[in-house]
Structure 1
Amino acid sequence: MQAVDHELASVEPRHVVTLAFSVGNDSERAQELEPRLQLPPGWRAVTPDLPFTLAPGETTVRFVSFVVPDGAPAADHAVRYLVRNRLQPELFAEHTVSIRVKAMRCLEVAPLDLADAVISGQPYRAVFVVRNAGNAAVTVDFRARSSLGHPVAPAEGRLELAPRESRELALDVRTEALPRLGFDQISLNVGDGTELSAQASRAVKLLPVGGGGESLYRTIAGQARLIYLAQDRDGEIKTGWQTELSGAGAIDEAGERHVAFLLRGPDARHAATFGRWDEYRFEYTSKGLAVGVGDLAYGLSPLTEYGRYGRGVQASYTSGAWDFGLYEMGDRFTDTGNRQLGARASRALSASSRLGLNYLAKSGERTANIYSLQAIEQRAGLSAEAELAASEGDDAGNAFRTYVYGATGDLRYSGTALYAEPGFAGYYRDQAFVSASGDYSLAQGWGMRATAFWQRTNLDRVVSRPALEESRLALGVALPDALGINLSADLFLRRKRDLRPNRDVDLVHPGFRVNGSYSRGHWGLAASGEFGATEDRVRDRRYATSLGLLSMYWRPSERQSYSLYLIRDDNTYSTIRQAVGSTAGVSAGVQLWQRARLNLNVQRSVAENANRFVTLGFEQTLRGGQIVSLFVRSTSGKFSRQTDAELSLTLPFGIPVARRPDLAPLRGRLLDAETGAGLAGVTLSLDGAIVMTDADGFFRYDAAKIGRRFLTLAGTGAAGKVPLRPLPLETEIRADGDNYVELRFVQPGMMKGRVQRYESAAEMPSQAYRDNGDDALTGGVGVAGALVTLTSGELKYRRLTDADGRFRIDGLPPGRWLVSVDERTLPPGGRYQAEQLQFVQDVRSGAETLVDFKLRPKTRRLKMLPLSSHAVPPTSTAATGIGVNRAAAERT
C-alpha cells in the first residue's frame, strides 16, 4: 500500500481533506478486504469504510475524505489507512500520512469557574471566559455541549466583542443521577464561521449517590457483548451468535500494573459480513515488563516482520538502557503451519539514540533465519532509523532500509529508501523503492510541496511474473486564501512499465490537479479536479483522463451531521482503458433523543462492476451504561444481492481483582434530637464521596479511606434542621474497628439585630465631649454596610447590614456564639465607637435571638494650658487658640 502523490499535507481547521491510497494484491488468490480509516480523536470521516475485493494481481486506488474539526490543535497529526483480509486477519497493510493543522486562532476561550465535582442528578454551572485576542471587533457564535448529552443552557448564542475585550459566559448544565462515578466534559466552541475559532473544555466529576463512590476491591472496567448475526445472500439465509467478554485496567494502587483480556467466540466470519473471528488473549504490563498470550498482533522490525496477527506468546522487558523482546507465534487461519520465533535486544546509546539486534526464525512453508542490525534516532523535530538485514536457509539474501522524518520551522520532510534482494525472506522481498516528500509554508499564505517516488519489483526480471517499475513526481503550490477559499495546484508525472522483454504494461501519464476547499459556519466543502493524458506505449495509443472529487459536510447542530461525496474517474489510475467509473454517496448522523443516535450511509457506484451500499446504524446508551446497537448493510450488484445485520447488547461492569487494604466501611445514622426519628433523604459527603440516608436515617459507605476523614452535608440540609455537632465532623476510620457515626439534628435558631449610631444631645464648638453618663443621646441611625460576624468553634457566618443597619442570619445550630462587628466597616474617620464591639449570645433551637450594636460618640478630653511668656502675640491668639488647645489635647 502507498499514498498516491503527497505524503505530507497542511490544512486549516474546519476544512475537508481528501487522500488517495493505492492498494495492491500481490497474491495468487482473490482477497476480500475491509478498510479502516484511523483518524485523530474528534476528526470526522466523510466517506464510509466499505469492504471491497481485489483479484489476484489487481491494484486499486481508494479515496477517503474527512473533516478537520474546529478545535484541532496546531500540530502534526497522523492519519492511518489500514486494509485487512476479512477471512485471514493475519494479512493486513497500512500506510500513514502526516497532516499538519495550521495555527489560525484569533480567539481565546478558557474555563473560568467550574466545580471539580458535583452530585450527579443535580445541576451545575460552568463559567467560561471568551477573549477577542485580535485588534478588530468581531461577532462570533458559540455552541456549548455536554459529553454525556446533558441539557446545556444556553446551548448556543452570539457574542459581540471589541478588540481585546473579554466576556464571561455562564452555562447551566442539568445532569442525570448516575449509579457509578462518571465524568462530564463541558465544551465551548466559538467562531465567526470563517477562520476565526477557538475551543475549550473542562471535565467535571459526577459523584454517584450511594456506596460512597469507592469499592473495597480494586476493579477494572469490563464489558460483555451478546451479538446476533444474520445474512441474506440471494435468498440463502444464515444466522449466527457471538459472545464477547473483555476488560482492561490497573490492578494496583500506583497504577503501574495493568491487565487486558478478550474472549470472543465462536468464529462467525462465514455467518455474516459483520461476523468476526474467534479471539482469545490476555496481556499483562508493568514497569519494564509486558507479557501477552493468545491471539495477538506482533512484529519485530520493518525488514524482519513489520506486522502480523497470530496465536502464541510474546514478552518484552526493559531495564535501564537495555530493552529485550521475545515471541513465538503462528498463523491461525491457514493450514501452512507457518510459525515465527522472534527475538530482539537493544541498548540506548543516549537520550535520543538506540542500537539493536533482531533475530527471526521462520518455519512452515519455508524455513529461514533472518538477522538485522537496527539504529534509531528520536528527538524533537527528527525521527530517523536505519536497518541492515540478511537471511539464510531456504531463502537467502540481504536487505537495507532507512527512514527519516523531520520538521524545522515551516519545513517538513520525509524520506524512505529500501532494497530487498529476491532471495531475502523478510517482510519486504524482491523489490527496491525510494520516496521523498517535502512541505514548506511561505509567508502571506503561500506554500510549496514536492513528492518523488520510485519502485521496482521482480529485480531479476523473471519472465513468469511482471517486473514492474513505477515512478511518480509531483510538484505543488498552495495559494493565498481568496474569499475564504483554500487553493492549491499540482503538476505530476507518473510512469508504470514492465521491464520484461515481452512487456504487458508501459504507461506514461502527465497531468495537473487543482484543489479547493471552503468552510463557513456549520458547513464546508472540498473539490479536486485532475486532468491528464495516458500514453500506452504497448498498444501505441493515447487517451485523455480526468478525475473529479467533491466532498461536502453540513452540521447544523450538535445533534445532526450530514455529508455528501462524489467521485468520477475516467481512467486516471487504470492500466487498461475501461469505462468511466463514478461513485456517489450521502451519509447522515442524527441524535434522535438523549443518548440515541441514528447513522445512515448510502453509496452508489456506476462502473463495470456496479454496486450499491446502504448502511444503517442505531445505537442507544441506557442510563446504566448499557448499549443496544443495530447495524444493517445491504449490498447489491449486477449479479448478486446481500443483506447483513448485527444486533448487539453491551453490558459494562467492574471486575474485582484485589482487596484494597486502605479502605474500610463506615456507617451511621441521622436523628431528630427531639423525636428520635431518623432523617431520610439527607445527602452526606465524606471527602467528596456522596451517600444518601435511607427511610430510617441510616447511611453507609461501603469503602472509606482509613485515617482521619471529614463528614459533612452535601445538599441543602436535613428538612430545615441543623446538626448539634458542628460540621464538617472529623472522624477516625479504622481498618479493624466499628466505624459508626451518629448525628443529631434540631430546629435551627435565628439571630437578627441592628447596628446604629447615636449623637450627643449637647455639642461644643471644639468637638470635645464630656461623657460621664449624664449626657443624653439622640435617636439612633442605622449604619449600612457594616460587617457582622458570628463565630462558634469552626463555624463562621458573615452578613453585611442593609440600608437601615439591620442584619439577619438563619439556620444557626444551637449553642454559644460570639457576635462581633468589624470596626473597619464602620463610618470613616474614627468618630464613633461601639458601646460593645462584641457580644456572647446563646442561640436556642427554634428561637429568635436579638442583638443591637449602639455606636456612641467617641469621648475626647481636653486640658487647658496657661499661656507662657513665649505665648503668641495677642493679634494671633484668636486665630490660633483653638488649634493650640487641640494640639495639647492630642498630646495628652
Structure 2
Amino acid sequence: MISFSAFSQSKVETSVSNYEKVIIAGGHFSLFFVVSNTSSDSLTAALDLPENWNILISKTLKVGPNDTKYSYTLSTPKTVDAGFYFPKFNVLLNNNVVMTKVFDIEIDEFKKIEVLNIGQPEYVREGDTLVTEYLVQNLGNSTESLKIATSRGEVFNYSDSLLLEANSNIRIKVKQKIPVTENSSWNASADLKVFTRDSEIPIYQVTSVPVYSNSSKKTDPYYRFPVQVGGSFLNFNIGGVSTVAYQYIGEGRGFLDLKEKHHVDFAVRGPNELNFPTIGSYDQYSLEYDYKNTIKVSIGDYVNRVSNLIEFSRFGRGIKYEQKVSKSEFQAFYQKARFLPSQKDSYGFNYGYNLKDGIKFSFNYFNKDVIKENSIFRTNILGISSNIKKELFSIETEVAMGNSNSKLDLGLFNRFNLQFHKFNIHSEIISAGKDFHGFYTNSRLLINGLSYSLSKKINIGVNSNYTRINPSLDILAYSSSPISKTNMAFASFQPNNKNSFFLNYTFQEREDRQIPSSFHYKEEFSNLSYSLNDDKVLLFSQFRYGNAQNLLAGDQLKPKQFFNSMIQPSVKISKWLWLGGYFEHQNTSKFSQDNTIKNLFYYGASMRFNYKKFVHANFMYRNNYAPDEFFEKRSFMDGSLLFDFKNHQLSLTTGRAYVPLSMNTNQNTLFFTLKYVLKLNVPVRKNKNIGHVTGNLVGMSDGILKGGVIVQMGPYKTVTDTSGNFHFNNLKPDIYHITLNGGPNMQGIIAGIKIPLEVSVKADSTEMVTIPLLKTGGLVGKVNFQVEERNLKLADNSKLPIVLVKLTNGDESFLTQINEKNEFSFKEIKPGNWSVSAFIPGKQEQYEVVNKEKNVVIGAEKLIQESFVVKSVERKIFFSGKDFKLITKK
C-alpha cells in the first residue's frame, strides 16, 4: 500500500521506487524516493519510522533541474513483532510537512520456542516431591499458543494451554511424587513438553535427578523364582443350560540361576470340567525350559508352528525340542491337537540355516493324522522355504508337497515387500490344492498393493484382494473365513500426528460360507474415514455411499443404493477414566432375504478405568452386529475388574458372546469367572557370594549434621539417615573405595580420615566402617612481587613468573597457582598443623621466594592469612686485572 497527502501547492510530487515489502526481523532494506519540485521553494525530507527502526545510511542526490533523489538503508529490530507497519516519508518546507507518502512494510513471522531447565535439586529421597523448574522462552516475533504437558507428575499453576507473547518468557514448575521402591538408589526423570499450534512434535526438555532410599533395604540372601498360585470359579450358560466349574491355577516364569542361563516357564490349570474352550474354559499343563537361548524343550501343552503353509499355529499336547548351533537351527516335535476335530497326532522336524545376516533357508518334514468325511488317513508333507530381509525389500517364499492316500498335491506361499523412494509395493500369495492337507487346504489368496507418497502427509494407492481360504484354525480362534473379492483406489491425508483422513472407492463381493448363509452381495461405494488421536479425545468416523446387489435374494436383482454412517468416540474424563460410545446406521438391502431396503441401527458403549497401579476396570457393550460381522467370535458384552496388589490379585470377568460354529446353538453364551491369585517369590538357592558394608558418620565437634550426606562406594550411592548411618548390601566381593560426595549439610565439613577410604568386601560377611567428620578451616594469602622495572624488561617473556603454593601435613598435599591478582586460597582444610610453601617452577636463576616455607596451624571455622614475597635476583660484575668474578647479592 502506498498513499500520500498533500498540504501545499501541486507543484511538489513524490514517487518511490520498487522495494522489498517483506522483511525478516532484524533485516535490512533500502528505499529510494524522488521529489519533483517545480517551485522555487527549498524543500527537505525526513522519514517517520516505527519505534527502534534505524536509518543506517541516508543520501541526497540532485538528479535533475527539479528532481531530488533520497536514498535510505534501514534496519529493523530483531525483536520486532510480525505484522504490517506503515512508515511515512515527509516532505518539509521550513520544518512544516507539505506532503506525506505512506508505504507498507510486512515483517515476516518467525517462530522459535526454547525450553531450558533452570532448577532442580542435587538429589531427592524416596517419598519426597520432586520439583523441577523450566524457562519457556518465545524467541520468535509472534504470539504463540502453547500446550504444556509432562510425562510424569503435573504442572504447577498453569493449565494445559497458554498464550506467550513474542520475546517473552515464563517460568514453569513440574512436580512429581517419588515412589518408595526396593532399590537403594536410582534416577528419576522429570520433563516438560511444549507443543505449538503448528506442530505435533513437542519442544522437549528432560532431566535426571538421583533418588536415594530413606533406609537400608532388607537384604534377601536368596535368589527367588516368581510363582502365582490360586483358583477360579466359573459359571457358563451354554444353550440355556447353566454350568458351574472350579479350577486351580499355578504358573511361573523366570531364571533359576544368578547368571541367567536356565529359564523355566510353566503353567498348570485344571481340571477340565467344562468342554467349551472357545471362551477359555479348558485345562492346561505346560513346561518350557530354555538354556542360554540355544536349547529349548517344551513338554505338555504348547503352541506349535512349523511354517506358513504346513502348520502355522496349533495348540496341542506333546513334546518339542529346539536347538541352535552356530548358524544352524533344528527342531523336532510330537503333538496331539487338542482343539481341532479334523486332526489327531502329528510329528515332524525342521532344519534352518542362516546363510548370512538377513538370509535364511529352511527344510521341513511334517506327518499327521487327518479326519475327513468319516475317514482317517495320514499325510506326509515336505517343504522348503527362504526368508530374505534387506533394507529396501523383504521376500518370504515357501513351497511344500503333500502325499495323502497316494495323491500328491502342492502348496505355495509368497510374501513380498518393497520400499523404494516414495513407492511401496506389497504382494502376498497362498495356494493349496484339494489334496494338500497342511494348514491350508483347497485355498487361494492373492493380495496386491501399490502406494505412492506424494508428500509426507499425502499417500495414494491401489489394492486388489482375493480371499478364498480354508485354514485349519483351532476353535480357540475360530473363523468361518468368508469368500471376498476387493478392488480399491485410495488416498490418505495426515496433516499432523493427531488427524488423518482416508478416502477410497471400492468394488467388493463377499459371500458367507456358513450354513445357512447370512450374506452374499456385491457392492461399489465411496468411503470417507476420519480419525482423531488427541490426549483427551479419540475419534473414528466413517461414511459410505454406493450401490449394493443382494445376491442372496437372487442373481437377477438390480443393485440398490445404500449408505452407512458410523462414529466411535472416546473421551478422557479424568486421568483414570475413559468413556466411549459406538453408533452406526446402515440403510441397505444387502442383508434382506426379500431385497427390501432396511434401516439397521447398532450402538454400544465402553469404559476404561485405571486407578494408579492396583485397580483396573473395563466394560464394553454392543446391542448387535451386522450379519457380515458374525464370521468370527463377537462379544455383546465384556466386563472385567482387577485388583492388583503387591502379593494378591483378584479379578472378575463376565460377558456375553456369539461363537460361529457349524451349528449356531451357542449364541448368547453367558459367562462369569472369579479368580484369585497369590504372588510368591519362591527361594531357589542361597547366594553366599555377596558381602555387605555398614557405616556411620561420627561428628567430632558440636553442630555437625550427619544426615543427608551422599556416600558413594564404587558405582553405588546412598544417603545417610539423620544419625549418619549408611548401608550397601548384596555386593560382589572386591576392593571398593568410599567417598563423600556432598549434601546440604556438608558445607564446611570434611572427613577426618583420608578419603577415598579403601574397603575390602568379602563373601558372606559385613564390613563395618566409621568416618569421623570435622569442621574445616582455611588459608588464604597473597604473593607480593619486588621486581625492578629494569629486571622485568630483561626477563625472558617480559612477564612475572608463575608461582605455585603448596599446603601439606605429611599425609595430604594440595597445590594451587596464584590468580591474576597474585592471590591463593585453600578452603575446607582439615584442622591441624600444616606447612605452606611457595616456589617458582623454572627461572630459579632470575627470581627467588623470601621465606619460602612456613608452618601454620589451621583451626576449625577459622580462615588464616599468610603472604610471600618474590624478588628478582641482583647480579654485579667486578673486574680485577685480567680476571673477573660473578657474585650474587641478595
Letter of the 1:565 partner, please give it.
Answer: Y
Partner in structure 2 of residue 851 of structure 1? 864
How much has 1:423 moved relative to structure 2?
A: 1.0
d(CA) in 2 for partners of 1:132 and 1:656?
Answer: 59
Q: Residue 848 of structure 1 aligns to a residue in which SS? A: coil
Query: Whole-Å Cα distance in 2 between the matches of residues 523 and 164 of structure 1?
Result: 33
1:351 to partner: Cα distance: 3.0
From 261, 267, 284, the equivalent of 1:262 is: 267
Alignment pair present for 1:554 and 2:571: yes
The answer to whether the Cα contact below 8 Å between 1:836 and 1:853 also exists between their aligned partners in 2 is no
1:240 aligns with 2:246: yes
The CA deviation at 1:707 is 1.6
Superposed, 1:451-490 pairs within 5 Å as 451-456=463-468, 470-479=484-493, 481=495, 486-490=500-504
Q: Give, in angstroms, the shift of residue 562 of structure 1.
A: 3.9
Aligned AA (2:861) = E
The alignment of Structure 1 onto Structure 2 pairs a total of residues equal to 709
Report which of the two structures shows the higher radius of gyration computed on alpha carbons.
Answer: 2
Gapped runs of 5+ residues in structure 2?
1-110, 472-479, 659-665, 793-803, 841-847, 878-889
- What displacement does 1:477 show? 1.5
Query: Which residue, 360, 374, 399 being the options, matches 1:388?
Result: 399
User: Which amino acid counterpart does residue 644 of structure 1 have in structure 2?
Assistant: F
Distance 1:796 1:753, change over 3 A: closer
Deviation at 1:174, TM superposition (A): 3.4
Q: Specify the code of the residue in structure 1 equivalent to 2:230.
A: L
Cα distance in 1, alignment partners of residues 236 and 818 from structure 2: 77
Shift of 1:132: 9.2
Alignment of 1:471-550 (within 5 A): 471-479=485-493, 481=495, 486-496=500-510, 507-518=521-532, 522-537=536-551, 539=554, 540-541=556-557, 542-550=559-567
Give 1:599 deviation, angstroms.
3.5
Deviations 1:855-888 (A, max 9, x none): 98x87899999xxxxxxxxxxxxxxxxxxxxxxx
Q: Is the contact made by 2:641 and 2:653 (CA closer than 8 Å) also made in structure 1? A: no
* Contact 2:145-2:197 within 8 A present in 1 as well: no
Deviation, structure 1 residue 144: 1.6
Pair 1:261–1:690, CA change in 2 (3 A): farther
Shift of residue 560, structure 1, vs aligned partner: 4.5
Following superposition, the deviation at residue 767 of structure 1 comes to 12
Higher relative CO (CA 8 A, sep ≥ 6), structure 1 or 2? 1
Change (3 A) 1:571 1:206: farther
Code of the residue aligned with 2:775 in structure 1: it is G
Alignment TM-score, normalising by the size of structure 2 = 0.64
Distance 1:167 1:558 in 2: 26
Q: Which residue matches 1:291?
A: 297
Q: Which amino acid aligns with 1:751?
A: G
The residue that corresponds to 2:442 in the other structure is 430
Superimposed CA distance per residue, residues 553-572 of structure 1 (whole angstroms, 9 cap, x where no aligned partner)? 33476444443333334459
- Contact 2:236–2:242 (8 Å) recurs in 1: yes
Is the Cα–Cα contact under 8 Å of residues 799 and 809 in structure 1 kept in the other structure? no
Q: Report the equivalent of 1:191.
A: 195
2:735 is aligned with 1:708: yes
Work out the CA distance in 2 between the residues paired with 1:381 and 1:135: 43
Question: Equivalents in 1 of 2:517, 2:644: separation in Å?
Answer: 58
1:406-459 Cα deviation digits (max 9, x unpaired) = 222332221111211111110010111211122221037432021101234699
1:716 positional shift? 4.6
Q: Tell me whether 1:440 sits opposite 2:452 in the alignment.
A: yes
CA–CA separation in structure 2 for the residues paired with 1:424 and 1:817:
95
| CA distance in 1 between partners of 2:560 and 2:852 (Å) | 102
| Matching residue's letter, 2:362 | G
2:583 is matched with which residue? 566
The equivalent residue for 1:603 is: 621
- Work out whether residues 116 and 203 of structure 1, in 8 Å CA contact, stay in contact via their aligned partners in 2: no
Residue matched to 1:5:
none
Q: Partner residue of 1:55?
A: none
Give 1:177's match in structure 2, choosing from 177, 180, 192. 180
- Equivalent residue letter for 2:768: V
Cα distance in 2 for partners of 1:235, 1:818 equals 98
Give per-residue Cα distances to partners, 1:809-866, cap 9 Å, x unaligned.
67x655556789999xxxxxxxxx999999765556xx4333125698x87899999x
Give the match for residue 584 of structure 1: 603
CA distance in structure 2 between the partners assigned to 1:573 and 1:822 by the alignment? 102
Which amino acid is 1:438 matched to? L
Counterpart in the other structure of 2:772: 745
Alignment partners' CA distance in 2, 1:863 and 1:685: 56
- Unaligned stretches of 5+ residues in structure 1: 1-104, 460-465, 770-786, 824-832, 866-891
Give the CA deviation at 1:242. Answer: 3.7
- Partner deviation per Cα, 1:200-256 (whole Å, 9 max, x = no partner): 778888665666798655555x24253543548589584635433312248453x56
User: 1:587: Cα distance to partner?
Assistant: 3.4
Amino acid at match of 2:623: S
Deviation of 1:797 (Å): 12
Give the superposition deviation at 1:292: 2.4
Q: Which amino acid aligns with 2:864?
A: V
Cα contact 1:450–1:474 (8 A) shared by 2: yes
Q: Which residue of 2 aligns with 1:373?
A: 384
Superposition map of 1:88-127 within 5 A:
120-122=126-128
C-alpha deviation, 1:154, in angstroms: 7.9
Structure-1 residue corresponding to 2:329: 323
Helix, strand or coil for the counterpart of 2:435? coil
* Change over 3 Å in CA distance of 1:402–1:142 after alignment to 2: same
- Aligned residue identity for 1:370: I
Match of 1:405 in 2: 417
Q: Secondary structure at the residue paired with 2:623?
A: strand
Contact map agreement 1:546 1:572 (CA 8 A) in 2: no
Measure, in 2, the Cα distance between the counterparts of 1:706 and 1:241: 47
Shift in Å, 1:333: 5.0
Give the aligned CA root-mean-square deviation in angstroms: 5.9
Q: What secondary structure sits across from 1:487 in the alignment?
A: strand
1:485-540 Cα distance to aligned partner (Å, 9 max, x none)? 643311110124699xx999863211110122345664353321112222134523
The answer to which of 342-351 and 367-376 deviates more is 342-351
